[in-house]
Copies of this chain bind each other. A is one copy, B any other.
Amino acid sequence: MRTEDLHINVDRLMKRLDTLAGIGAIEGGGVCRLALTDEDRLGRDLVSGWMEELGLAVTVDRIGNVVGIRQGREDCPPVLTGSHIDSVATGGRYDGSLGVLAGLEAMAVLDEAGVTTRKPIGVAFFTNEEGARFAPDMMGSGVHQGMLDLGEMLDIRGIDGRRVSDALAEIGYAGSESVGAFKADSYLELHVEQGPVLEQEGFTIGAVEGVQGISWTEYRLTGTSNHAGTTPMHLRKDAGYVAAAIAVEARRLALEMGGTQVATVGVSELRPNLVNVIAAEALLTLDLRNTKEERLQWAEARLNELIEGIVSEEGVGVQSRRLARFEPVTFDPDMIALVEGTAQRLGCRVKRLPSGAGHDAQMFAPNCPTGMIFVPSQGGISHNVAEYTAPEDIRAGADVLLQALIARAG
């Protein structure tokens, strides 16, 4: 059988997904495996065990990343795949785990077919991708690729006050492999989309072009509390109105800009928050994302102007605070083309699209050719126990991963 005709065994992959989802299982079919907890340890033990069964050379590095390498005909940097197996507190069973277990499945298929690739192929799971217990997120892959400092990260305390270094030691994953020196030939990650685009538009595979840049700002507006009945419209300094007007302008701007621009006001709070009192204070957050740094900067600047205008017209005060800012990441054109071409060859409807969420892959992008494969998330739902991807889509995504890894490893 030619390697081009190899397919993954979807039953085996679904069974592994089920088994892993049994660890930290919560009501509704989801999981709670916060990074470096006992549940994470049990998940790590399970997946490391599978890596060893497959004969991979397994290492654990100093931030707890686990990498399993399948030897190639040549001793050169491996083609790497992987993702994470930690979750948010009410996570779904596919987020992260799919990429790791599909990587293992690819190894199993190569073993069964007796294929040895030219380059080695590796599969990894990275520590604390979610950032739900320890901030920042993508901690393990960040340290792995030299984007984050090991010492600083080991010193970080979680929401429960526990330090990363202590938590790593407690679960037995404070490894000895040094970090920052790992060279990959390339990195390719399969992940659920966590958004609705593929499903809504009828695509099975997403060839991910990059990760959107993120700009988070918090605004505190200070107006004047007053009687809703006795204060004429033109004498108001209504912090609540200003908050609403900002949210409406953000929506309008995103629609006007089009492309990948999104804008969300997810937090909005008024004080005193009474039916007949004009709000004295409002708090809101603005989440702006774009795949292009210059467009994101333009959106930030334009909204600043608009907010200045609204605020000064109403006569309210404003204090703003940057909560987060990440530049966009662009994936390698060859890797995007590889995913797209492989999907087409396999008869899948494939769409190029950006990722709105952050992923381990973005830490690799500056260092080696990097790409991602998305499969549809039903209803676009993620970080939710109701997260779901159909088995036929999982099969398609894992097949694309398998064939792309073979193509890359030669």
Please give the distance in Å from A386's CB to the nearest CB on chain B. Answer: 10
B268 touches A268 (CB 8 A): yes
Query: In the bound complex, how far is the Cα of B261 from the Cα of A131, in angstroms?
Result: 49
Contact of A287 among B224, B254, B276 (CB under 8 A): B276
Residues of B within 8 A of A193 (CB): 230
Query: In the bound complex, how far is the Cα of B229 from the Cα of A293, in angstroms?
Result: 15
Query: In the bound complex, how far is the Cα of B248 from the Cα of A214, in angstroms?
Result: 27
* Interface check A240, CB cutoff 8 A: yes
Please give the distance in Å from A10's CB to the nearest CB on chain B. Answer: 25
A272-285 vs B, CB cutoff 8 Å, 1 = contact: the mask equals 01111111000001
Residues of B within 8 A of A278 (CB): 264, 266
Given A196-B235, A251-B233, are A226 and B268 also a contact pair (CB < 8 Å)?
A: no
A231 touches B356 (CB 8 A): yes
The A213-239 residues at the B interface (CB cut-off 8 A) are 214, 216, 218, 224-235, 238
Contact of A273 among B212, B228, B267, B381 (CB under 8 A): B267
Given A244-B244, A357-B230, are A380 and B235 also a contact pair (CB < 8 Å)?
A: yes
* Interface check A57, CB cutoff 8 A: no
B270 touches A274 (CB 8 A): no
Please give the distance in Å from A218's CB to the nearest CB on chain B. Answer: 8
* Interface check A69, CB cutoff 8 A: no
* Interface check A184, CB cutoff 8 A: no
A65-78 vs B, CB cutoff 8 Å, 1 = contact: the mask equals 00000000000000
* Interface check A344, CB cutoff 8 A: no
Residues of B within 8 A of A196 (CB): 226, 230-232, 235
A380 touches B227 (CB 8 A): yes
* Interface check A31, CB cutoff 8 A: no
Beyond A228-B356, A240-B268, A268-B268: 12 further Cβ-contacts under 8 Å?
A195-B229, A195-B231, A196-B231, A225-B384, A227-B356, A238-B264, A241-B251, A244-B247, A245-B248, A266-B273, A268-B269, A268-B270
